Amino acid sequence: MWKSLLIALALWVPPVAWAGGLSPAALDVATVEVLPGPEASAELFRRPPLRNLDEVLDSGYLNVGLYEGFPPYAYRDEAGEARGIDAELGRLIAEGLGLEFRPFWITPASSLGRDLGNAVSRGHYLRPTQVADVMLRVPYDRNFSYMRDSTGEYINKSVVMFGPYQREQWDLAFDAARLGDTATLGSFRDHPVGAEYQTLPATYLTATLGGQLRDNVRHYRNTEEALAAMARGEITGVMAIRGELEHYLARYPEHDFRLADAVFPGISRHQWDIGMAIRHNHRQLGHAVEALVDGAVRDGSLGEIFAAHELHYHMPDFYAEVLGAQ
The answer to whether residue 33 scores a pLDDT higher than 60 is no
19-28, 56-65, 158-167, range with the lowest pLDDT = 19-28
The answer to whether residue 126 scores a pLDDT higher than 70 is no
Confidence of residue 248 (pLDDT cuts 50, 70, 90): very high
Type of residue numbered 196: E
Chain centroid to Cα 98, Å, comes to 23
The answer to whether residue 143 scores a pLDDT higher than 80 is no
Q: Read out DSSP for 56-74? A: HHHHTEEEEEEETTBTTTB
Whether 310 and 246 have beta carbons less than 8 Å apart is answered as yes
The answer to whether residue 146 scores a pLDDT higher than 60 is no
- Mean pLDDT to the nearest integer, 130-145: 84
Q: Is 156 exposed, middle or buried, given 0-12, 13-18 or 19+ CB atoms closer than 10 A?
A: buried
Whether 262 and 172 have beta carbons less than 8 Å apart is answered as yes
Q: How far apart are CA 222 and CA 238, in angstroms?
A: 11
Give pLDDT, residue 64: 97
pTM score: 0.80
Q: What are phi and psi of 252, to 5 degrees?
A: -125, 60
Whether 261 and 267 have beta carbons less than 8 Å apart is answered as no
301-308 and 85-96 helices, crossing angle to 10°: 150
- Mean pLDDT to the nearest integer, 155-162: 77
User: Residue 2: which H helix or E strand, with range?
Assistant: helix 2-11
CA atoms 33, 37, 43, 47: torsion sign:
positive
Give pLDDT, residue 277: 95
- Three-state SS string over 166-184 comes to EEEEEEEEEEHHHHCCCCC
The answer to whether residue 215 scores a pLDDT higher than 60 is yes
Q: How far apart are CA 101 and CA 206, in angstroms?
A: 42
Which segments within the chain are labelled E, that is strand?
61-67, 75-76, 82-83, 100-106, 134-139, 159-175, 193-196, 217-220, 237-241, 257-259, 271-279
Long-range contacts formed by 119-124: CB under 8 A, 24+ apart: 119/65, 120/65, 120/158, 120/159, 120/277, 120/278, 120/279, 121/48, 121/158, 121/159, 121/279, 121/280, 122/47, 122/48, 122/158, 123/47, 123/48
Q: How far apart are CA 188 and CA 174, in angstroms?
A: 10
